[in-house]
Amino acid sequence: MNYPAKILFQALIKSFYRENAGAFLFFFTILFLIVSPIHQAGVVEYHYALIIGILENSYFLLLVFTLWLLYARKCVAFVADILCRPEYAFVHIFNHLSKAKRFRLFFFVAACLLMPVLLYALLIILVGWQRHYYFSALLVTAYILLLCVAATVKHLILLYHLQREATLPLKKAAWISRLSAAYPVILIQFVANKQKIAWLGIKIFTCGILYGAARNNILTDYDAASIFWFFNFGIIANGLLVYRIREFEEMYLAFYRGASVSLSRRGMQYALVCFALLIPEFITIGMLVPVHLHYSDAISFALCSYSLVLLMYSITFLRRFSMKSYLKMVLLMACVQFLFLLFATLTILSLLFFIIAVTIFMIGYYRFE
């Protein structure tokens, strides 16, 4: 590694992984250490089935591409933030290098930052080549190369035009400005800007485990209950996002409580936020019907997951919970779900959670301090 590469490694790559070490550890644990055997399938078998599903299903492959794009955007945003900091002003000396050398250096940076994606993509390519999914394997290869090149070009543009971009902000259309000011959009933007890694990991785990479990669910041995339990474990993880959103609200948006907005409209806004959080899960459920999941079970899964997230959101208006206390409440909900799974139907459970969520919100919103 030459001296310029060492500088970029210390300034950008090492800083990125140090800052996100906790998130990477969490996602590694979720994806590789907490994946229980599914119909006598271990971690290797689970990921092998998941990769086969990615290669066979174009919609699933598109979802994976979208998640990789979000991660690449996170990396580019991190580099942009570093370049804006006064203490890293020395990085601008790379503008004096030749274009080819700058491209090679920042391609190295992009590849290192995208390393988690590159490693899993390599597994997908190898399995695809082994199982003769040549088109999908080539598509993954081309997409990964495109991500690296696009990230590199963006880094170089940021490096060269940083001051100009800072002084000449982009003008937004009027309807975009109005949409950005909508309360649900503000909360969703918070997740997109500050909780990207957490959101990405939760969605990969939830959608991945649902898809992997359902693909092993054949008509002769159909068991929707076990699939729901694995799926529900991922839905419960969305409680982390709910808790962070409520923290953000209380810290920066507390004034909104005094705005002249009806309680029903506020409730609809929060319901829209909860729905937006679960869009990847709804898409995955839709991809599994009717071959691997019956229509009735798919509707029950969607309603139960949505009602649970609504309830997790509503209880935050009862009082100020610490993270530990909030997780205890969420685990209590999981126990209630398990009992209903044994003795009742998911439809009754979702209806009950909807009623409780609305009741708690109507009673607790204005009483919350």
Torsion sign, CA atoms 323, 329, 331, 333: negative
State the pLDDT confidence band at 219, using cuts at 50, 70 and 90: low
Q: Please list, in sequence order, all residues whose beta carbon lies within 8 angstroms of the beta carbon of residue 314, skipping any fewer than 6 positions away.
A: 356, 357, 358, 360, 361, 364
State the pLDDT confidence band at 313, using cuts at 50, 70 and 90: very high
Does residue 177 share a domain with residue 133? no
pLDDT of residue 39: 42
Does residue 355 share a domain with residue 258? yes
| pLDDT over 60 at 68, yes or no | yes
pLDDT of residue 335: 81
Does residue 215 share a domain with residue 125? no
* pLDDT tens per residue, range 275-309: 999 999 999 888 888 777 888 888 888 998 999 99
And the tokens for 321?
Answer: 């919970």
Does residue 201 share a domain with residue 115? no
| pLDDT over 70 at 170, yes or no | no
Domain end call among 102, 137, 170: 170
Q: How far apart are CA 27 and CA 49, in angstroms?
A: 19
Mean pLDDT of the region 111-138 = 91
State the pLDDT confidence band at 162, using cuts at 50, 70 and 90: low
Do 59 and 287 touch, CB atoms closer than 8 A?
A: yes
Does residue 137 share a domain with residue 83? yes
State the pLDDT confidence band at 156, using cuts at 50, 70 and 90: confident
Lowest average pLDDT, out of 9-13, 167-171, 186-190, goes to 167-171
pLDDT of residue 166: 42
Range of the domain at 337: 172-369
pLDDT of residue 181: 66
Instruction: Provide the domain count of the chain.
Output: 2
Does residue 42 share a domain with residue 30? yes
Does residue 317 share a domain with residue 193? yes
The alpha helices in the chain, defined as continuous H runs, are 3-8, 14-19, 21-28, 43-56, 58-84, 99-113, 115-130, 134-167, 174-180, 183-194, 196-215, 224-252, 263-277, 279-288, 295-314, 323-343, 346-364
Of 213, 282, 259, residue with least CA distance to 366? 259
Does residue 67 share a domain with residue 182? no
Does residue 248 share a domain with residue 185? yes
Q: Please list, in sequence order, all residues whose beta carbon lies within 8 angstroms of the beta carbon of residue 39, skipping any fewer than 6 positions away.
A: 216
Does residue 43 share a domain with residue 92? yes
| pLDDT over 70 at 127, yes or no | yes
| pLDDT over 80 at 358, yes or no | yes
Domain end call among 155, 170, 185: 170
pLDDT of residue 296: 84
pLDDT of residue 60: 85
pLDDT of residue 369: 56
State the pLDDT confidence band at 177, using cuts at 50, 70 and 90: low
| pLDDT over 70 at 49, yes or no | yes
Does residue 86 share a domain with residue 165? yes
pLDDT of residue 154: 87
Mean pLDDT of the region 241-254 = 88
Whole-structure pTM value? 0.59
pLDDT of residue 276: 93
Mean pLDDT of the region 1-11 = 77
* pLDDT tens per residue, range 254-283: 888 778 888 899 999 999 999 999 999 999
Q: How far apart are CA 155 and CA 66, in angstroms?
A: 20
pLDDT of residue 165: 46
Does residue 321 share a domain with residue 201? yes
Domain end call among 170, 186, 220: 170
Mean pLDDT of the region 321-350 = 80
State the pLDDT confidence band at 245, using cuts at 50, 70 and 90: very high
| pLDDT over 60 at 167, yes or no | no
